[in-house]
Structures are given as structure tokens and as C-alpha cells.
Amino acid sequence: MAEMIDIVNERDEVVGEAPRKGIHSTNLKHRAAHIFIIDGKSRIWIEKRAEHCDTYPGYHNSSAAGHVAKGESYEQAARREVEEELGFRDAKLEQLHKLQASEETSNEFVAFFVGRTDQTPTIHSDTAELITLGVGEITQLIKDGAKFTPVFKLLFDYYLRTAVK
């Protein structure tokens, strides 16, 4: 059975549903959750997407991210993704921001969460690599042209402006 996700309008109101597979080729607005997991040294776990991913293969991205399933809340999706992609159960997550659906977000309304833990994550099948980087290292990599997803760049910029002390 196909994984179904809610399709939403420009106000993020559910107007239908569609299979997750191929959703990015349809340009329908939908929902996603992105999570930055920060370790005890204030470094962010960064995922390098596997080459078989349908969008941005080989790019660096949030610690965990994924579509919000049909009938699921942003917070439920964030918790599910953190457990599925990193193996963290009961992670304390705080929603910091929500991005409007746009070309840069692949037509996704994106809820942005941050969590903290010193646990060591496990690698998910859609992840080629997990590394921790400090904000200065990430900033330099972006300046040097390293491949980061557009949505990661938007979220990282917001994180720098609001959360980094």
C-alpha cells in the first residue's frame, strides 16, 4: 500500500491526499518536518543524503527530515523521523519556525524543530553519512559551495539569526 500524504492549499489547509512516491514531480503543496539535533558540544548532526534519494541525492541536509503523513501533525512527523532516521526515542523537540511552501522548499510547508542529545545516532537507509559540525564549519562549507539542500540553507540561516547565542 502506498504511503499517503496530505495535500494542502496556500494556507496549509488539507484539501486532498496523494501517494508520497512522485509527489515532487506534481508540484502539489504538502507538508514536511525538518529537525536539527544538537549534541553536547553545540554541534549539529548533518545528514548526507544517499544517492538513491529522489530529491537532492548526495546533498547535506538537516539531521532528520521527512514528509508529514496523511492525518499526522508536524510534531508527530518530527518525532517519527527522529526515531526512524536517527534511532532517538523520546527526543525533546522544540518547534522554532515554519516556512511557507515555495520553490526553495520543494512546495513543502516546513515545520522546523530543534532537539538536543548526546546519544549517538544510527544511520538510516536514505542516509549516506552522518557527521557533526559546528555553526562556523557549516557556514564555511556553504560559502565554499558545498552541496546543501536549499531548505537546509533557509533553516540554518533562521537558526543563526534566532537560536545561536
Contacts by 49-57 with C-beta closer than 8 Å and gap 24+?
49/126, 49/127, 49/128, 49/149, 50/125, 50/126, 50/127, 50/128, 51/128, 52/126, 53/126, 54/24, 55/24, 55/106, 55/149, 56/147, 56/149
* Predicted confidence (pLDDT) at residue 5 exceeds the cutoff of 90: yes
Tens of pLDDT along 106-127?
A: 999 999 999 999 888 988 788 8
Q: What is the pTM of this model?
A: 0.93
The rounded mean pLDDT for the chain is 92
Q: For residue 109, give the CATH number of its domain.
A: 3.90.79.10
Question: What domain range includes position 124?
Answer: 4-162
Tally of domains in the chain? 1
